Structure 1
Amino acid sequence: MSKKLARMAQRVQAEARVPALSAALHRADRPLWQVQVGAAGAESRFRIGSVTKTFTAVLVLQARDEGLLDLDDPIGRHLDLPAHGDLPVRRLLSHTSGLQREPYGDVWDTLLAPDADGLLAELDRAERVLPPARRYHYSNLGMSLLGHAVGRLRGGTWAEVLEDRILRPLGLADTTVRPGERAVTGYLVEAYSDHAKPEPPTDFGGVGPAGQLWSTAADMARWAAFLADPAALDPGAGVLAPSTLDEMSWPLTTTDQALWSAGFGLGLILVPQGERVVHVGHDGAMPGFLAGVYGRRPAPAGLGDGTPRAMGCAVLGSSGTAIATVELPHKLLAAAVQDDPAQVPAWTPGEPAPEAYRSVLGRWWGEGFEYVFFWRDGVLRARGVDDPPTRPPAVFAPVPDRPDVLRGVSGREVGELLRLTRDAEGTVVRMHWATYRFTRDQQTFAGD
């Protein structure tokens, strides 16, 4: 399998003409796989560009979970701004704020970015190119504001908070704000010759929270695995709770109205792969560099597609125009699962359903359709009889102090209540799920 993955990387390096390419694949059930092609070594550090935004997004959600901010807060509540302070944090995270893409000025001509104070002071010179919430519009400026807000909330700079709250706890020692001595050179490879021209080194100062970081493929594969399956790499939820990563991975907008091939959550790009498989992460581009960093979300319990725990892939390249670099992580993830799937865990008998729920189990009818309620892995679940096997079931949890009321915690009608009605003997004879009546036989809405 490793030879096949290596050949895929070698072909991209040769055909896309990437001076240095490094790829790594992280999964919980295998040793780290990595390959370097061209002028790259195992410890070579590449610019990862906008993959930086995923770190900034996690810092924002950490602050939310700790009560330091709310996603619906206006950004001006946390930064002293001359304009645009009413834009909600949530809109900035999902690139639906309407704020222009870059800070004021021709920063890509001069390659001189403002420092943090200058970026904030000149915000009144930036435009809202679209009304908030109208549609997706990518904004480095918006993500930069979020990074500086987190720094202010924590009493430090964005870079200091990043090191303290993410890099050190997750052991990402090769991910840094500065390139260091192991940094490779980024190039523009000429279209009609094999000449590679070095791109100038750049420091993006106040725009750093949107694209400043450098890293190795191994570090980024680990980070991608965390984004896809945080419980496997951070079991104590010291960095971020799995439920919060679930929230970040929910699509809030599509990036193309006519072609729903990718979406955006809270700071994460979401790329569906078919059959309920989603890759989460981000691409990155800076002068002379492209990066693709994605994790493969594990399937819900009982619906394994062969994806192992903590699966993440990173491909980093030193050409700014080799688009195949950012396409390769998706292909490597798919090939690894197809040719070397995770082991299927053996089924083992479990405890019986609690007495209180035994009369719930079996077939019920609601809205004219048939459902099956069953007890598995210690929880009550339900699915439509005609649901495809890949559709996750509804999962319920008891509501405290209400013995015959449960709440959906995932799947169909998540968040809604399931109320049980019993006869004189205590048998459940009727249920109401999201207020719809469920009975043992098929009935009209009038109860006939």
Structure 2
Amino acid sequence: MSKKLATMVRRVQAEARVPALAAALHRADRPLWEHQVGPAGAESQFRIGSVTKTFTAVLVLQARDDGLLDLDDPIGRHLDLPAYGDLPLRRLLSHTSGLQREPFGDVWDTLLAPDADRLLAELDRAERVLPTARRFHYSNLGMSLLGHAVARLRGGTWGEVLEDRVLRPLGLSATTVQPTDRAVTGYLVEAYSDHAKPEPPTDFAGVGPAGQLWSTAGDMARWGAFLADPTALDPDGAVLAASTLDEMRWPLTTTDETLWSAGFGLGLILVPQGERIVHVGHDGAMPGFLAGVYGRRPAPAGLGDGTPRAMGCAVLGSSGTAVATIELAHRLLSAAVEEDPAEVPPWTPGEPAPEAYRSVLGRWWGEGFEYVFFWRDGVLRARGADDPPTRPPAVFAPEPGHPDVLRGVSGREVGELLRLTRAADGTVVRMHWATYRFTRDQQTFSGD
């Protein structure tokens, strides 16, 4: 398997003409796989560009979980700003604030980024180019504001807070704000010759929370695995609760309304890979560098495609124009699952359903359609009788102190109540799910 992956990496390096290319694949059931081509080793650092945004987003959600902010707070509640203080944090995280892409000035022309104080002071010279909540519009400026807000709440710089609250706890020791002596050079490879021209070194100062970090492929593969499957790397939720990462991965907007090929959550790009498969992470681009860092989400037990736990991939390249660098991360994830899938755990008998719910099990009818209610892994579940096996079932949990009232915790009608009606002998004879009546036989809405 490793030979096939290595061949894929070497082909991209040769065909896309990338001076140095490093790839790594992390999964819980195998040792870390790494491969480099060109003047790069396992410890070589590359600029990861906008992958940095995923770290800033995690810091924001940490602060929310710690009660320091609410995602619907206006940014002006946490930063003293001359303009746009009304923009909600949630909109800045999902790039739906309408704020212009870059800070005021020709940053990409001069390569002179403002420091944090100047970036904030000059915010009134930037534009809100679209109405808030209208559509996706990528904004480095918006993500930078979030990074500085968290830094102010925590009482340090953005880099200090990141090191203390994310990098060190997850063991990402090769990820740094400034390049080390292991950093590779980034290049522009000329379109019509094989000449590679070094890009100038850049420090993006106040825009750092949107794109400053340097890292190795190994560190970033681990980070991708965390974004997809946090309980495998952070079982106690010390960095971030798994439920919070679920929230971050929920798509809030599409990135391109003409293609619908990717979505955006709270700081995370979501790339569908077919039925039930999603890659979650981010691309990165800086002068002379491109990066693709993604994790592959494991499907629920019994519905998997062979994706192992804690699966993440990173591909880092030292060419600013070799887009195949980013695409390779997705291809390596898919190839690894296809060629070397996770072991299929054997089925083992479980405990019977509790007596109180046994009369719920089986087939019911609601709205003219048939559903199957069943007990598995200690919870009541339901699915449409004609649903494909890959569609996740509804999962219910009883309301505290009310065993005959259950709430959907995932799947269809999540959050809605399932109310049980019993006959005199305790048998469930009717149910109401999201207020719709469910009966053992097919009935009209009038009960005929």
TM-score bucket (shorter structure): over 0.9
2: CA distance, partners of 1:378 / 1:164: 38
* Unpaired runs of at least 5, structure 1: none
Name the counterpart of 1:274. Answer: 274
Name the counterpart of 2:301. Answer: 301
1: CA distance, partners of 2:123 / 2:133: 20
CA shift for structure 1 position 402: 1.4
Map 1:87-236; keep pairs closer than 5 Å.
87-236=87-236
2: CA distance, partners of 1:32 / 1:169: 19
Name the counterpart of 2:445. Answer: 445
AA in 2 matched with 1:233: L
- TM-score, length-normalised on structure 1? 1.00
AA in 2 matched with 1:72: D
Name the counterpart of 2:324. Answer: 324
Name the counterpart of 1:311. Answer: 311
Name the counterpart of 1:425. Answer: 425
CA shift for structure 1 position 300: 1.6
CA shift for structure 1 position 39: 1.1
1: CA distance, partners of 2:241 / 2:10: 37
1: CA distance, partners of 2:386 / 2:62: 40
Percent identical: 89
Name the counterpart of 1:34. Answer: 34
1: CA distance, partners of 2:257 / 2:227: 26
Provide the secondary structure at the position in 2 that maps to 1:240: coil
Provide the secondary structure at the position in 2 that maps to 1:274: coil
Runs of 4+ aligned structure 1 residues displaced above 2 Å come to: none
CA shift for structure 1 position 401: 1.5
1: CA distance, partners of 2:175 / 2:420: 52
Does residue 239 (structure 1) correspond to residue 239 (structure 2)? The answer is yes
Deviations 1:114-159 (A, max 9, x none): 1111100100000000000111000000000000000011111111
Provide the secondary structure at the position in 1 that maps to 2:54: helix
Name the counterpart of 1:365. Answer: 365
Name the counterpart of 2:71. Answer: 71
CA shift for structure 1 position 302: 2.0
Map 1:52-63; keep pairs closer than 5 Å.
52-63=52-63
Deviations 1:22-74 (A, max 9, x none): 00000000000000001111100000000000000000011111111111100
Name the counterpart of 2:81. Answer: 81
Name the counterpart of 1:251. Answer: 251
Name the counterpart of 2:374. Answer: 374
Deviations 1:309-335 (A, max 9, x none): 000000000000000000000000000
Name the counterpart of 2:386. Answer: 386
Map 1:339-358; keep pairs closer than 5 Å.
339-358=339-358
* Unpaired runs of at least 5, structure 2: none
Deviations 1:264-309 (A, max 9, x none): 0000000000111000000000000000000001102221110000
1: CA distance, partners of 2:245 / 2:337: 22
Provide the secondary structure at the position in 1 that maps to 2:223: helix
Deviations 1:249-276 (A, max 9, x none): 1110001111010110000000000111
1: CA distance, partners of 2:249 / 2:150: 21
- TM-score, length-normalised on structure 2? 1.00
Provide the secondary structure at the position in 2 that maps to 1:441: coil
2: CA distance, partners of 1:413 / 1:241: 23
Provide the secondary structure at the position in 1 that maps to 2:50: helix
Deviations 1:154-212 (A, max 9, x none): 11111111001100000000000010100000000000000000000000000000000
CA shift for structure 1 position 246: 0.8
1: CA distance, partners of 2:253 / 2:374: 34
